[in-house]
Structure 1
Amino acid sequence: MKYPISKELKSISIYSGSMVGRLYPLVNFAYGFIKCKSDEFVTVKKYSTPGFDGAELSTLIIEPRKNEGPLPCIMFFHGGGFLMRASAAHYEIAKWYARELKCKVVMPDYRLLPKYRYPLAIEDCYSTYMWVLQNAESMKINKEKIIVAGDSAGGNIAAAVTLMLHDRNQTLPKGAMLIYPVLDKRMITDSMKRFTDTPIWDSNCNKLFWDMYLKGQEHSQAKYASISEIEDLGFFPPTYIEAAEYDCLHDEGIEFAEKLKTQNITVEVHDMKGTCHGYETAIKSSIVEKCMAWRVEWIRNEIIKKN
């Protein structure tokens, strides 16, 4: 079925979910040649940070030039279905945050499927979050102004890390920014049933991902994989959510926002009309430019100025 997706997304809307599912090894090979480099506005440094169970991760820290710390910090978890590496668009967006908000952006290169299944990715990111807390002073990070952010699977990680921090009695982030997030392994929403052939990501692709991610796991034990199933979310920080109109994940984001609101959590939601999953990839579009302006304003007003 053809969907009335914005012409600005033409370059990405030609790719089907099944195509992405088949070609991810080639995509990862290509992404391996993409580097996040310093420029006239930001510097990019690579650190070795602890992952889960003694592993070591390669983590990027992006920060504005000519800054005086301590600075706010965004823990930025890239999307890609837990299968794919960070893309050029992820790096550009991370640099945008650092430049516009005068903050540090921490991007852990967490371990991926199919070799590393649940809960490796979220435990890796949790470990890096704890490393940031423990080293905040020496790294000139204001640990009272840390937020978690991520798109798609990265949104899942951001929400999961927040829950893990709560359960383990650790310092919570001051905000969560979830961009068309994966939140519910049950796949029971109307959009999940309806969008079986949408660009980039569809419900068939989503099932493939869940089957791979939770292979060998008792679903009842996968608490941190499916945040939508958590009843008590009253501990959550202020949250910003974007949902793509023609995306099987659309309703998960909208329903999660409503659930937070019923528990008196401050939420800002943008239901992005005429978009498909992965619209961030169209980095030069007016769609992304508008979204980035909203995100920067939300972070500045809800996190930086208030804390």
Structure 2
Amino acid sequence: MKTRYHLDKELRFLTMAHLFPNIHVYPFVNVFMGMIPCKSDEKIDVKKHVIPGYEGYKLPTLIIEPRNYKEKLPCIMFFHGGGLILKAAETHYQFAKWYAERTHCRVIMPDYRLMPKYRFPYAVEDCYCAYEWAVANAGNLNIDENKIIVAGDSAGGNIASAVVFMARDRGQILPIGVLMSYPALDRRMDTESMRKYTDTPVLDTGLAKMYWDEMLINGLPQHIEYASPMEAVSFSEFSSTYIEIAEFDSLHDDGVLFAEKLKSANIPVELHEVKGTCHGFEVAFKSRIVRESLDRRIAWIKKTLA
């Protein structure tokens, strides 16, 4: 792995980090990932539910909420990243708990199905089912169905965007906002950052191609925007959006170009490039960069919900 990218000093441990290029390794990795707990603490309650997923699947789902809040709260649907092949990591649970604590929201986090066994559309349809369930059960969940934000990192950002298009097309209440960090949004991979960042830490162009190829191995769907949101014919009615991108990331331009699409459709959008970072920098969740990033996101969430 080359080290020519000037990562922030707190992120240099990621220089040698790289995801596996063989998709068939990941089910074994997920055996261990599945052992990572998301536990209640002095500030946060974590409850496990099983809700209806795609095609009758019983979808394990976490509800993460601030302690001692009995009133109706806004909701964040949090779709974890991991290339649609990895289960949620400690980082995802930490961010979900921060969102719940600092924005006074109930966070709903579905454990959607993964490749290689379940390729498109299983992950996104599971997550859309979770969104529908949250809206339909808003009263029991004590959430405001008109104040739901969908959020996700990397592949989770892909899902969050797709869920908005699905809700729009299917006549569902739309989320009030979308929050994405280094999202994967365009299966065509025809961007300058895809050509430039072929050897970056954690994720590079070759790995991104592997994920897209595996995701769409059965061909392109009729609604291509449910898989590749950048290819949507229309961005009208899309929700107000926050996008954060890493400086040294093959997915860098996905976020930039998606923001431009939204602006052209007169959709409010906030775009931030985080200097000195690579894909997956959230894993350094004790770093100054992540603390600053979290502060920006919390401010945007509060503003959007207000």
TM-score w.r.t. structure 1 length?
0.96
Give the gaps of 5 or more residues in structure 2.
none
**What residue number does 1:154 align with?**
156
**What residue number does 1:268 align with?**
270
**What residue number does 1:10 align with?**
12
Query: How far apart are residue 24 of structure 1 and its match?
Result: 3.4
- SS of 1:291's equivalent in the other structure is helix
**What residue number does 1:218 align with?**
220
Distance change >3 Å, CA 225–CA 158, structure 1 → 2: same
| Identity %, equivalent residues | 51
CA–CA distance in structure 1, aligned partners of residues 128 and 226 of structure 2: 11
The amino acid across from 1:112 in the alignment is L
**What residue number does 1:255 align with?**
257
CA–CA distance in structure 1, aligned partners of residues 126 and 175 of structure 2: 17
Q: Which moved more, 1:210-219 or 1:270-279?
A: 210-219
**What residue number does 1:173 align with?**
175
Q: What CA deviation, in whole Å up to 9, does each residue of 1:128-153 have, x standing for no partner?
A: 11011111001101111101000000
CA–CA distance in structure 1, aligned partners of residues 14 and 25 of structure 2: 14
Query: How far apart are residue 25 of structure 1 and its match?
Result: 4.0
The amino acid across from 1:38 in the alignment is S
CA–CA distance in structure 1, aligned partners of residues 219 and 64 of structure 2: 35
Q: Which moved more, 1:220-229 or 1:248-257?
A: 220-229
TM-score w.r.t. structure 2 length?
0.96
Distance change >3 Å, CA 168–CA 220, structure 1 → 2: closer
- SS of 1:69's equivalent in the other structure is coil
**What residue number does 1:82 align with?**
84
**What residue number does 1:126 align with?**
128
Asked if residue 68 in structure 1 is aligned to residue 70 in structure 2, the reply is: yes
CA–CA distance in structure 2, aligned partners of residues 43 and 136 of structure 1: 18
CA–CA distance in structure 1, aligned partners of residues 107 and 221 of structure 2: 33
- SS of 1:171's equivalent in the other structure is coil
**What residue number does 2:245 align with?**
243
CA–CA distance in structure 2, aligned partners of residues 20 and 271 of structure 1: 30
Q: What CA deviation, in whole Å up to 9, does each residue of 1:265-286 have, x standing for no partner?
A: 1111111111000001111001
Contact 1:136 1:142 in 2 (8 A): yes
Contact 2:45 2:64 in 1 (8 A): yes
Alignment of 1:198-217 (within 5 A): 198-217=200-219
Distance change >3 Å, CA 219–CA 72, structure 1 → 2: closer
**What residue number does 1:302 align with?**
304
- SS of 1:137's equivalent in the other structure is helix
CA–CA distance in structure 2, aligned partners of residues 80 and 285 of structure 1: 21
Distance change >3 Å, CA 169–CA 54, structure 1 → 2: same
Aligned length: 304
Query: How far apart are residue 122 of structure 1 and its match?
Result: 0.3
Give the gaps of 5 or more residues in structure 1.
none
Query: How far apart are residue 33 of structure 1 and its match?
Result: 1.2
CA–CA distance in structure 1, aligned partners of residues 28 and 212 of structure 2: 21
Q: What CA deviation, in whole Å up to 9, does each residue of 1:92-124 have, x standing for no partner?
A: 110001111111000000000000000110000
Distance change >3 Å, CA 290–CA 7, structure 1 → 2: same
- SS of 1:146's equivalent in the other structure is strand
Q: Which moved more, 1:20-29 or 1:60-69?
A: 20-29
C-alpha RMSD over aligned residues: 1.4
Q: What CA deviation, in whole Å up to 9, does each residue of 1:32-51 have, x standing for no partner?
A: 11010000001000000111
Which of 98, 101, 104 aligns to 1:102? It is 104
CA–CA distance in structure 1, aligned partners of residues 249 and 31 of structure 2: 26
Which of 178, 181, 185 aligns to 1:183? It is 185
Contact 2:21 2:210 in 1 (8 A): no
By relative contact order (CA 8 Å, sep 6+), the higher-ranking structure is 1
CA–CA distance in structure 2, aligned partners of residues 174 and 72 of structure 1: 10
